[in-house]
Amino acid sequence: MRSDKRNCGDLSAAYSSHGGIPAAAAYTVNTYPYTLRYGLRDCVAHLADLGFRSFEPMLVPGHFWPSREAAGERREIGNLLANRDLRIVTLNQPNLDINLGSSVTEMREHSCAMMTAAMRLAADWGAMGIVINPGKANPVLPSPSEQLADWFRRSLDALVPEAERWNVQLIVKNHPLSYLHRAADLVSFFDGYGWERIGIGYDFANGYFGREDPREALQVLNSRIKLIYAADSGLDEFRHDPVGADAVPFNDIAETLRASGYRGDTVLEIIADDSDRALAASVAQLESHAWPRRDMQ
């Protein structure tokens, strides 16, 4: 992981209070960059000490994996959340290991089983939902888009009833390596399939690298957006750098979000060597753009 010194300034600016509330408290942290260093409980405690109050845990063995963690570990994390007034927003899993659009029935079934386990965990911790991806096509000989869409529908047919059972949302995230990632295509697909228990999590780094204008994407997705992801990237290399380090037009995005009245969660999914400093720099950058804050009520 690269540490970007261009955008990693003084920690105190981002972790200072605004109106009695630390700026960091308005943002959600994706725990991906911490998965090799901390178990989830220690990670959440560490980030809470920095002023963050909401989180998107990555489900990774060694960090936290539902089938390997004892019930006591789940309870300890649940107690930590309650005792320190913290919240889990969503649960996420590395996209490389899961394929809801696989041509192989057993792979789709296995992927759905892992997602269902994540939904049970989300319900235990009071999370809004879990993040899913429509799936990946073979880059050498991709299947027709109609076939890929049908395989994804079959996975959704299994997942939506489970989401209803556990009272959680399926948050579909745009990813440039997925066959289905542009805003208009996502809306078209789900307008046909249905939006029950479905929402969109829009990632600005993913969208920008995928050559999509973020302002146009926001206008197309509109009320379907349940949360947004802030990280920076260029066009030549797919990255999740600190906000302000690359080319994503965050000032224009902030203006569009304010105009739309967005008051949902902003997830910081920043990959850097010095993750604490990268998060602080990203918060400071977003605050400088008058980024719309989550409704703290």
The CATH number linked to 277 is: 3.20.20.150
Which pLDDT score, from 0 to 100, does residue 68 have?
85
Q: Examine residue 111 and state whether it is found in any structural domain, yes or no.
A: yes
Q: Examine residue 259 and state whether it is found in any structural domain, yes or no.
A: yes
Q: Examine residue 297 and state whether it is found in any structural domain, yes or no.
A: no
pLDDT digits (tens, 9 = 90+) for 171-196: 999 999 899 999 999 999 999 999 99
SS3 22: strand
Q: Examine residue 293 and state whether it is found in any structural domain, yes or no.
A: no
Q: Is the pLDDT of residue 14 over 60?
A: no
Choose among 189, 258, 262, 266: nearest CA to 227: 266
Which of the pair, 1 or 269, is modelled with greater confidence? 269
d(CA 62, CA 67): 12
Sequence-separated (6 or more) residues with CB below 8 Å from residue 257: 218, 228, 291, 292
> What global pTM score does this model have?
0.92
pLDDT digits (tens, 9 = 90+) for 195-210: 999 999 999 999 999 9
Q: What is the domain count for the chain? A: 1
Q: Is the pLDDT of residue 124 over 90?
A: yes
CB atoms within 10 A of CB 30: 24
Q: Under a CB-based contact definition with an 8 Å cutoff, are residues 25 and 51 in contact? A: yes
Q: Examine residue 296 and state whether it is found in any structural domain, yes or no.
A: no
Kind of pairing, strands 54-56 and 87-88?
parallel
Which pLDDT score, from 0 to 100, does residue 108 have?
96
Q: Is the pLDDT of residue 105 over 60?
A: yes
* Domain enclosing residue 200, as ranges: 5-288
Q: Examine residue 294 and state whether it is found in any structural domain, yes or no.
A: no
Mean pLDDT of 113-133: 97
Mean pLDDT of 275-292: 96
Q: Under a CB-based contact definition with an 8 Å cutoff, are residues 118 and 66 in contact? A: yes
- In the chain, which residue ranges form alpha helices assigned H by DSSP? 11-15, 40-49, 71-83, 105-124, 145-166, 183-193, 204-209, 214-221, 250-260, 275-288
pLDDT digits (tens, 9 = 90+) for 50-92: 999 999 999 999 999 998 888 889 999 999 999 999 999 999 9
